[in-house]
Amino acid sequence: MRLELLLMRARSAFWLVCYWSLAAWRDASTALRLPKAQEGRSTMILTKCAACATELGLTLGKKCGRCSTRYCGPECQKQHWEQGGHDQLCKPIKRAGGAEQYNANKRYTEALAVAVEKCAEDTKGQTCYICTQALHWKTKEGLVRMCACRGTAGFAHVSCLAEQAKIWFAEAEENNLDYKAWNARFHRWDTCSLCEQKYHGVVACALGWACWKTYVGRPEMDLSRRSAMRLLGNGLHAAKHHEDALSVMEAELSMQQRLGDSEENVLVAQGNLACTYEKLGRKEQALSMRRDVYSGNLRLQGREDDDTLRAANNYATSLKDLERFEEAKSLLRRTVPVARRVLGGNNDLTLKMRWVYAEALYRDAGATLGDLREAVTTLEDTERIARRVMAGAHPLARGIERCLQNAREALAAHDEA
């Protein structure tokens, strides 16, 4: 029983991470079960005309015959060659391996510089735990650290981390390791091997580009290329580059749909995409995608599954943000009791659901005195639990506390009126 509880807490802690980073493959076995793709087709992340930035989708457009740079038509191609500098760049792009590879290399270099700059203060006077130097011998880049490592542990060069991940993963491929081992090794690209926590912010982004630039040249069906695409999407999200994350995630989703990937994996990609819509303020799109993710999970996994409960909370949050309070409340009245029973009252997802419910109660313009009182008592109770379980400095506890103040003010205003 103890172990079960522990496992449950570990799983739910993993899902809380969705605040900051996004989910990876739901199901290892289904990630491998894809039909064969047509020869020579590969999903691109460069989906705009290089000259005028018109959205081309994944198949339309005209390609430069030498370097594969894409345009909306011959006029843009001609203009880009004559005035856009493509006459100079075409050769270097071709030499790098084509437009996608060239873009990946370039974006990696930019993301690396940003990451090193951002970590400069923290890494001053330190050395890389992999190569033991302060400056990288070849690239002369500085150090980074953005994981849970503290003290003098965990300083490294992005190049060293990437090289290590690449070697680790190549070994798994050479030795034909099973999916579980394969996956664990692939996660060296986004998880620190010392503290076992995911890298965050701009370091996750630099490693996302490093990973994508390593595997972009592989065939579309190659699982490492598809995993690299997801890792890049998550890295861009971590660094708050939501527009870029959007185009990578949309490319991934359309690839999955075209190739007939499993419903479970499509739902994970849709959930990630909904998060990005939300960040970009495209709330209606986020809402409709979250509704689909919720009903898909409900159908596939049942109402007591962790994913279904998390999807319900995301959907309810979107409803509340769009001030559709009645729908949010009715959804949560059905799901909070399930979460309490399955996950327990101390679980962070349960707390979060009750928080969203209370907010929907007191923010509703038609809230009765009873609603306002229920909101205040619910928040008092969840705040107490959050402080006990997660310490007061935890973002969840602080968020609930702020919300409680607002609810008390709404109740006081109602009493005065």
Per CB under 5 A, residues contacting Zn ion are 49, 51-52, 54, 64, 66-67, 69, 72, 76, 90, 128, 130-131, 147, 149, 154, 157, 160, 192, 194-195
Nearer to Zn ion, 30 or 193 (CB): 193
Q: How far is the CB of 71 from Zn ion (least distance, A)?
A: 5
In whole angstroms, the minimum distance from the beta carbon of 234 to Zn ion comes to 17
> Which residue, 144 or 147, has its beta carbon nearer to Zn ion?
147
CA–CA separation, 351 and 354 (whole Å): 5
Q: Residues 340, 350: contact at Cβ < 8 Å?
A: yes
Nearer to Zn ion, 86 or 226 (CB): 86
Instruction: Tell me if residue 67 falls in helix, strand or coil.
Output: coil
Enumerate residues 6+ apart whose C-beta is below 8 A from 20: 200, 238
Collapsing DSSP to helix, strand or coil, 63 comes out as strand
* Least distance to Zn ion, CB of residue 169, Å: 18
Q: Which is nearer to Zn ion, 27 or 55 (CB)?
A: 55
115-120, Cβ contacts within 8 angstroms, sequence gap of 24 or more: 115/144, 115/146, 115/158, 115/202, 115/203, 115/205, 115/206, 116/141, 116/142, 116/143, 116/144, 116/158, 118/144, 118/201, 118/202, 119/143, 119/144, 119/145, 119/146, 119/203
> Would you say 79 or 295 has its CB closer to Zn ion?
79
Shortest distance, position 180 Cβ to Zn ion, whole Å:
22
Nearer to Zn ion, 149 or 221 (CB): 149
Cβ closer to Zn ion: 122 or 222? 122
Report, in Å, the least distance between residue 137 CB and Zn ion.
8
CB of 52 to Zn ion, least distance (A): 3
Contact 56, 70 (CB under 8 A): yes
For the bound state, the minimum distance from the C-beta of residue 146 to Zn ion, rounded and expressed in Å, comes to 9
Q: Is the Cβ of residue 47 or residue 308 nearer to Zn ion in the bound state? A: 47
Q: Which is nearer to Zn ion, 64 or 396 (CB)?
A: 64
Q: How far is the CB of 73 from Zn ion (least distance, A)?
A: 6
HSE, CB side, 13 Å, CA atoms: give it for residue 382.
30
283, 324 contact by CB (below 8 A): no
Q: Which of 366, 376, 369 is nearest to 406 (CA)?
A: 376
Go through 15-26 and write b for each residue having 16 or more CB atoms within 10 A of its CB, e for each that does not: bbebeebbbbbb
Looking at the Cβ atoms of 116 and 289, the one nearer to Zn ion is: 116
Least distance in angstroms from the C-beta of 81 to Zn ion: 8
Residue 37 DSSP label = P
Q: How far is the CB of 79 from Zn ion (least distance, A)?
A: 8
Letter string b/e over residues 146-185, b meaning 16 or more CB atoms within 10 A of that residue's CB: bbebeeeebbbbbbbbbebbbebbeebeeeeeeeeebbeb
Supply the DSSP symbol for 129. Answer: T
Q: Are 115 and 206 in contact (CB under 8 A)?
A: yes
The alpha carbon dihedral of 193, 199, 204, 206 has a sign of: negative
